[in-house]
Amino acid sequence: MTFTQIFAHRGSAGTHPENTMISFMEAARVGADGIELDVQLTKDGEVVVIHDETVDRTTNGKGYVKDYLLQELKKLDSSHKFSKQFGVTNIPTLKEVLEWMQGNSLLLNIELKNSVFFYPGLEEKTIALVRAYGMENRVIISSFNHYSIVHCYRLAPEIETAPLYRDGLYMPWVYAESIQSKAIHPSIKAAPDAIIKSSIQAGIAVRPYTINEESKMKSLYTLGCSAIITDYPEKAILIKRKIYGIH
C-alpha cells in the first residue's frame, strides 16, 4: 500500500510564521514528507522565499519584493501574526533552505511566484541552486504560470514539474503529460475524487492544496491520494497514522 505523503504548506504555516526557517524546521520535526515554499527575485536578483508579491501582509515592511535589495529584505521581521510566540524572524533565501536540507531527507516543492511579475531568470537561478546542492531528485517545481513550468522542463528535464491550477481542467492527467509533468497540484475545489483516481491510474501524481480540515484529510487518505499540501502537518500526520494504523 502506498501512503499519502504530507507536504507542509509554506512550512507549518498554521502554527508558525509561513515561509520561514522555523516553520520549515517545525515541519521536519513533526515528520512531514516534504515542504512547500514560494520563491521570487529581489531587486538584486537573489532568489528569496516569500509568498506575496508585496511584503505588507507577512512582514513589518511595505512594498513589492522586487523593489527590495536582499540586504534590505533581511532587515524586515517576517514573524507575521506569530511574533509574540516566536519573536523576530527573517525572510530566508532559497540557498539557505537548500543548505539546511542537506541535513535531512525531506522533499521540496518550490513554487515559482511568477504569474503577476514574470521575474526573468527566476527559472534559471532556481534550477542552478537545485543542481548546486544536488537536490534534483528531491525537488518538484510548480507554478500557476504553465509557460514557466515548460521552460523549467526544457532547462532541466531531470527535475519534476507540476502545474498548479484553481479551476476545473478536463482530463488533467492528459494535460500534465502534454507538458511533460509527472504530477498536478490542483486546488481541492478542482479535484473531485474521480479526477484524483483517474490521474493516479494514468501515472500522474495528485497533490491538492490546501488541506486543513480533518474530514478532507481522512477522505483523501482513504482514497489513496498521492499527497496533500497542508498548513497543519502535525495534525495531518496524527490523522494519517490512525487511518493507516501506523504506530
The arithmetic mean of pLDDT across residues 178-206, rounded, is 98
Could you list the active site residues?
9, 51
- Which set of grid coordinates corresponds to residue 129? 541552486
Query: How does residue 185 score in pLDDT terms, banded at 50, 70 and 90?
Result: very high
The mean of the pLDDT values for the chain is 97
* Residue 97 contacts residue 28 (beta carbons within 8 Å): no
Return the number of other C-beta atoms located less than 10 Å from residue 184's C-beta: 26
Please say if the pLDDT value at position 195 is more than 80.
yes
Q: Sign (positive/negative) of CA torsion 81, 108, 63, 87?
A: positive
Q: Which tens digits make up the pLDDT trace of 29-79?
A: 999 999 999 999 999 999 999 999 999 999 999 999 999 999 999 999 999
The arithmetic mean of pLDDT across residues 80-95, rounded, is 96
Rounded Cα distance, 73 and 52, in Å: 13
The arithmetic mean of pLDDT across residues 216-231, rounded, is 98
- Predicted pLDDT at 56: 98
- Predicted pLDDT at 247: 79
Query: How does residue 189 score in pLDDT terms, banded at 50, 70 and 90?
Result: very high
Please say if the pLDDT value at position 158 is more than 80.
yes
Query: How does residue 1 score in pLDDT terms, banded at 50, 70 and 90?
Result: low
- Predicted pLDDT at 2: 80
Rounded Cα distance, 58 and 154, in Å: 33
Query: How does residue 164 score in pLDDT terms, banded at 50, 70 and 90?
Result: very high
Q: Which tens digits make up the pLDDT trace of 121-148?
A: 999 999 999 999 999 999 999 999 999 9
Query: How does residue 246 score in pLDDT terms, banded at 50, 70 and 90?
Result: confident
